[in-house]
Amino acid sequence: MKITGYRTLILGTPWRNLTYLILETDVGVSGVGEARVVGKTHTVLEYLRDKQGHFMGADVHDIETLYQRVTRDDFGVAGEVAMTGLALVEMACWDCIGKAAGLPVYQLVGGKVRDRIPAYANGWYRVERIGGLLRGGPARGGPGLYRPEVRSLRQWRPGTKPSRLSPRHRPHRGGA
């Protein structure tokens, strides 16, 4: 499954851009990668354009070879821009591999770790769908996002100890 083309999309938000890369292959399978890098979105796009010889025509299964081309073969230190470009392409490669195998990517890279992932709306993005998700969220007995106990920065007090927050709102400390 060889990479035959790619295109990029940028989703702009008030304070950062989300960059998407769509890889196309010779067998008709496409894959999507997503990344964000604050203030360097267009630099990453130019990097991909400049280095497309590293991944155009490559087999999507040869991700390690792609990594070596970006890090070792360029004879430089791969920084934030190069690694973001690599992440976009690698994620899209894994997406292609998963689609071709008929498996979700997590089954290809070690298996499931959790049955559920908690998510919440923090209010950074003021769009109607967030409000709708909160109204029907688990806190109200339905699916969607839960409402954090601290609803605005005005209510937050510096020095608030994690023990004052419910267990699901405490900072993650690692571990299983």
Which residues are 34's β-sheet partners?
A: 20
- Share of residues in the chain with pLDDT > 70 (%): 67
Buried b or exposed e, range 124-151, using 16+ CB within 10 angstroms: eeeeeebeebbeebeeeeeebbbbbeee
Question: How confident is the model over 115-128, as a mean pLDDT?
Answer: 62
Question: Using an 8 Å Cβ cutoff, are 25 and 13 in contact?
Answer: no
Q: Give the pLDDT confidence score for residue 140 in this predicted structure.
A: 47
- At 22, list the tokens: 């769509």
Domains of the chain: 3-108 (3.30.390.10), 128-169 (no CATH)
- What ranges in the chain are assigned the alpha helix state H? 41-50, 63-71, 80-101, 105-108, 128-135
The pLDDT tens digits for 77-90 are: 778 999 999 999 99
- pLDDT(166) > 60: no
For residues 58 and 145, which has the higher predicted lDDT (pLDDT)?
58
- At 42, list the tokens: 């267009």
Which residues are 30's β-sheet partners?
A: 24
Question: Using an 8 Å Cβ cutoff, are 45 and 19 in contact?
Answer: yes
- Split at pLDDT 50, 70, 90, the class of 25 is very high
Cα–Cα–Cα angle for 91, 44, 94, rounded to 5 degrees? 5
The pLDDT tens digits for 141-157 are: 445 555 555 444 455 45
For residues 154 and 55, which has the higher predicted lDDT (pLDDT)?
55
Cα–Cα–Cα angle for 140, 146, 150, rounded to 5 degrees? 110
List CB contacts of 120: < 8 A, sequence separation 6 or more. 145, 146, 147, 148
List CB contacts of 114: < 8 A, sequence separation 6 or more. none
Q: Give the pLDDT confidence score for residue 159 in this predicted structure.
A: 56
- Split at pLDDT 50, 70, 90, the class of 122 is low
- pLDDT(137) > 60: no
